[in-house]
Amino acid sequence: MARQRFATVDDYLATQPDAVRAALERVRAAIRRTLPQAEEGIGYQIPVFRLRGRAVIYMAGWKAHYSLYPATSSVKDALAAELAPYEVSRGTVRFPLGQPVPVRLVARIARLRAQEESGRPGPAGVLPRTRTALSRRSAVPRG
């Protein structure tokens, strides 16, 4: 069976079962309220919210749960007590479909991830262009 490719978050949500779609719509709304300047898109074939070109938070629906990514160590440490009722592993927080969406927790995760990403230089792997970086580059002999 061919893997489906999604162009938009709405395309992704349209393929989800009703319970998953309803939960993800609530998650999406919480993230959009928290990060109104974030751009929605698709990354790794799941919805992603980006700020200044940097992926801040992903969400995905599954058969019995929905997930948020990445659950970085600083997010897990800062929200340990609030995350305790949920399954947290490596870079994922899993929320069961049978429970109400913890909208405030989703918003706090999104806010912490935005703060983490705002402290990192430029897009992944790209150093900011500073006077020092430019002067070092010009000092390298060309040949």
Q: What is the pLDDT along the chain (143 residues), one digit of tens a residue?
A: 447 899 999 999 999 999 999 999 999 999 999 999 999 999 999 999 999 999 999 999 999 999 999 999 999 999 999 999 999 998 999 999 999 999 999 999 999 999 999 886 655 444 343 333 333 333 433 34
* Structural domain of 87: 9-139
Residue 4 lies in a domain: no
Residue 115 lies in a domain: yes
* pTM given for the model: 0.81
Residue 77 lies in a domain: yes
What is the CATH classification number for the domain harbouring 68?
3.90.1150.200
pLDDT, tens only, 100-109 = 999 999 999 9
Q: Which residues of 100-138 are buried (b: 16+ CB within 10 A; e: fewer)?
A: ebbeebbbbbbbbbbeebeeeeeeeeeeeeeeeeeeeee
- The size of the chain, in residues, is 143
Q: How far apart are CA 133 and CA 125, in angstroms?
A: 14
- Greatest pairwise CA separation for the chain in angstroms: 65
Residue 1 lies in a domain: no
Number of domains in the chain: 1
pLDDT, tens only, 115-143 = 999 886 655 444 343 333 333 333 433 34
| Structural contact between residues 88 and 96, judged by C-beta atoms closer than 8 angstroms | no
